[in-house]
Structure 1
Amino acid sequence: MPALHAISPDTLARLVALPGAPAILDLRDAPAATLPGARVLGVATRPTAPAGRAVVVVDEAGGAAAAAAVALLRSDGVRAERLEGGFAAWASAGLPTVALAHLPPRHDDGRTWWVTRARPKVDRIACPWLIRRFIDPDARFLYVAPGEVLAVAAAERAEPFDVAGEGVVWTHRGERCSFDALVDGFGLVGHAPLARLAAIVRGADTDRLDLAPEAAGLLALSLGLSRLHDDDHAQLEAGLTLYDALYRWCRDAQGERHDARSHRPAHAAVTA
């Protein structure tokens, strides 16, 4: 008999990293890796739900800790489920996990802070999308003048990215861009949709449009967004939708084609 108020790893995997995904609360203490977009709470923290969001609770094996947390959340009117089999079942199924060794320290607001150069084009929108969807859904991003990135990083304990400088981890290395560095550093290299998206981002960001047919389109849309918005945060919010769509295409829409006949009703296609 299925567990009460539970969701299977396969079902949850179809929801993660999408804008309407449930909030994932990981009850394990100091895990080495977690699910994409999960908030690691630890066993001693009573879980609370982000306003208006469904919740999936994760423990090591889908046991009593998760069941108790789900019961508490549901008593508060939250639509909560536990992950069947917990993290162990998720990992055994070969589903994507996020390594936490390089996660920046959280601030008093519970968020990781990141800083980069103002007036983003490709990488400086793609990287925040990756961080928000896979690493820290509450991450805060600071856009500052190029010459001030490292000073602001030090003053505000913010993680610098897509900027050159001593000790900067998340930046270009050879032909690979900052998006690649994040995918590698957080252990997401085996997730095929992200690998496809990384090639598109790399091609658009490094003037290698030959790397993926979609790179030219991403570059055009990115440059267009940068001209539509004079506020970097407004551009970021618009760009998140663009990358949500690209990720979903990379995940399960590559085989679909479209032309004048693609979506005609069946009877029209027969008589055409």
Structure 2
Amino acid sequence: MPAFSEISANQLMRLIGTPDAPVLIDVSVDEDFDADPFLVPGAVRHKHTDIIALLPGLTGRTVVTICQKGGKLSHGAAAMLRDAGLNAEVLAGGNYSWRDAKLPRVPAASIPPKQNGATLWVTRHRPKIDRIACPWLIRRFVDPSARFLFVPPAQVLDVAARYDATPFDIEDTFWSHRGVKCSFDTMVEEFALATPALSRLANVVRAADTNTLADVPEAAGLLALSVGLSRQYKNDTEQLDAAMPLYDALYRWARDGADETHDWPDNRGAK
């Protein structure tokens, strides 16, 4: 059982991917991390000796600190944050407990280099499905601070080269469709996030994005809402922000509610 200032791996997994997820800070030393270079989904690395430098961006947030074994590094960092007035806990058992629980771990090598503390991505403007679903996945499970540029299709690769951005959902690039799979599938696979919930959500995204609506009943609803959002917003960044709660809800459906149905009358009083 975790101590009062700790959170278990399974408890933390229930929060990851939701808007209420804590800020996850991995304070493992380089030597330990290089021996097992994987991250809890959504975690960012930061030196334990400089943890106070993060304070301006943590106001009002709950924090979970992580090291390889859940020992002195993470407990010391959490105590420093609590001393500064934050609500900070430690992942009980650290990265090793997460690994031993067989929970998803993001390979550090799969995450593009960061600029000013955030990954930078670029894709075609006027997004509908894949180009909204992928940013949601990245922000919820890979890099909460990720930034996204939406530009004319002919400019994507040049913008990527000029601004050191990572192109996605465009032909002949790494982060794109592969066979019958869409870019969201590619990211779930490359970031090692194939949980039952995200795999179920990927089925919906793929069917909506590739016009195979008959394969997944929920895909028609996602397509309708996505087209509606694209008509409602002229600014692609504003559209992405507005769509985040939609995908949050779809994720909770995929994780907790896929078996629930609704009918009228509901017959709850029937014997």
After TM superposition, give the deviation of residue 259 of structure 1 in Å: 2.3
After TM superposition, give the deviation of residue 42 of structure 1 in Å: 3.9
TM-score, normalised to structure 1's length? Answer: 0.92
CA distance in 2, matches of 1:169, 1:42: 31
Q: Which residue pairs with 2:144 in the alignment?
A: 137
5 Å-filtered alignment, 1:50-61, equals: 50-61=58-69
Q: Which residue pairs with 2:154 in the alignment?
A: 147
Secondary structure of 2:50's counterpart equals coil
After TM superposition, give the deviation of residue 121 of structure 1 in Å: 0.4
Q: Which residue pairs with 1:171 in the alignment?
A: 176
Secondary structure of 1:80's counterpart equals strand
| Alignment partner of 1:36 is 2:41 | yes
| Alignment partner of 1:92 is 2:100 | yes
Which of 156, 163, 187 is 1:156 aligned to? 163
Task: Report the AA paired with residue 12 of structure 2.
Answer: L
Q: Deviations over 1:209-231 (max 9, x none)?
A: 12311111111110111001111
Aligned-pair Cα RMSD in Å: 1.6
CA distance in 2, matches of 1:92, 1:261: 46
Kindly tell me the number of residue pairs found equivalent between the two proteins: 263
Secondary structure of 1:46's counterpart equals helix
**Higher helix content, 1 or 2:** 2
Alpha-carbon spacing, 1:2–1:160, altered in 2? closer, same or farther (3 Å):
closer
Q: Which residue pairs with 2:121 in the alignment?
A: 114
After TM superposition, give the deviation of residue 43 of structure 1 in Å: 4.1
CA distance in 2, matches of 1:125, 1:18: 16
CA distance in 2, matches of 1:220, 1:270: 35
Identity over aligned pairs, percent:
49
Alpha-carbon spacing, 1:209–1:62, altered in 2? closer, same or farther (3 Å):
same
After TM superposition, give the deviation of residue 102 of structure 1 in Å: 2.0
| Alignment partner of 1:192 is 2:196 | yes
Indicate conservation of the 8 Å contact 2:48/2:77, yes or no: no
Q: Which residue pairs with 1:236 in the alignment?
A: 240
Q: Which runs of 4+ in 1 moved over 3 A?
A: 42-45
Secondary structure of 2:110's counterpart equals coil
Q: Which residue pairs with 1:211 in the alignment?
A: 215
Alpha-carbon spacing, 1:44–1:175, altered in 2? closer, same or farther (3 Å):
same
Secondary structure of 1:222's counterpart equals helix
| Alignment partner of 1:82 is 2:90 | yes
After TM superposition, give the deviation of residue 44 of structure 1 in Å: 4.1
Q: Which moved more, 1:117-126 or 1:87-96?
A: 87-96
Secondary structure of 1:137's counterpart equals coil
TM-score, normalised to structure 2's length? Answer: 0.92
Q: Deviations over 1:234-256 (max 9, x none)?
A: 11011111110001100011122
Secondary structure of 1:55's counterpart equals strand
Q: Which residue pairs with 2:72 in the alignment?
A: 64
CA distance in 2, matches of 1:35, 1:2: 18
CA distance in 2, matches of 1:40, 1:261: 52
After TM superposition, give the deviation of residue 177 of structure 1 in Å: 0.6
Q: Which residue pairs with 2:186 in the alignment?
A: 181
CA distance in 2, matches of 1:241, 1:169: 27
Q: Deviations over 1:27-50 (max 9, x none)?
A: 123552111111111444325352
Indicate conservation of the 8 Å contact 2:110/2:191, yes or no: yes
Which of 228, 249, 258 is 2:253 aligned to? 249
Q: Which residue pairs with 1:9 in the alignment?
A: 9
Indicate conservation of the 8 Å contact 2:123/2:131, yes or no: yes
Secondary structure of 1:14's counterpart equals helix
CA distance in 1, matches of 2:215, 2:103: 26
Q: Which residue pairs with 2:51 in the alignment?
A: 46
CA distance in 1, matches of 2:235, 2:93: 44
